[in-house]
Structure 1
Amino acid sequence: MKSATDELIRIPGVGNSIAGDLINLGLFSVEDLKGKNPEEMYARLCFLKGGRVDRCMLYVFRCAVYFAENEESIDEGNYDPRLLCWWKWKD
């Protein structure tokens, strides 16, 4: 059985540390990210951390939600590979 961390690090740009942040937000799987609002996730993480978190985390969250909502298309090769790079999700 896969751990939540193992499940989440399948997402491009997500390593052990960010997987831990997602788990702290109550997100334990790729499926849990579907329909989530990255801006709300970021604001909640800032609250949990007690201060401002690097804005790059918001970009990773945007990429992660995109991945979760398009995983089937990605597996089939029907996607823009640039959208799996977190830095493409900047403001």
Structure 2
Amino acid sequence: MNPSKVERSRVLRLTDLPNIGKAGAADLELLGIQAPEQLMGRCPFEMYAALCEITGQLHDPCVIDVFISVTRFVSGEAAKPWWDFTQERKHKLMQLASPASRSI
């Protein structure tokens, strides 16, 4: 759902979450998530890695941004567009990279 249309009190299904449509809901369901409250305390980076493993394919890294947006939302933050989290994702992935790979 478009973040500007999300009403926290009406979030009952996965598709009620910001930035989640049918495809995003299907990805979350593959991870065993059936309801928004099941996102509480989840790590978006671990969710992404699990999704890639389950499906056997490397997904667009922007999926991490979406996962960040929904995990933050269920933790009480405001609904924001997924692209608001892109820089954070890139920074975190850079931190996770080995020092040798950053110097190349």
TM-score band, normalised by the shorter chain? 0.7 to 0.9
Root-mean-square deviation (CA, aligned residues, Å) is: 1.4
Return the TM-score normalized by structure 2. Answer: 0.68
Aligned to 1:89, the other structure's residue is in SS state helix
- The alignment of Structure 1 onto Structure 2 pairs a total of residues equal to 76
Alignment of 1:22-61 (within 5 A): 22-61=28-67
Return the TM-score normalized by structure 1. Answer: 0.78
Structure 2 gap segments, 5+ residues each: 1-11, 91-104
Matched to 1:67, the amino acid is: F
Query: Which structure has the bigger radius of gyration?
Result: 2
Q: Percent identity?
A: 34
Alignment of 1:1-91 (within 5 A): 7-70=13-76, 79=78, 84-90=80-86, 91=90
- Tell me, in whole angstroms, the C-alpha distance in 2 between the residues paired with 1:21 and 1:53: 11
Q: Which has the higher contact order (CA 8 A, sep 6+)?
A: 1
Structure 1 gap segments, 5+ residues each: 1-5
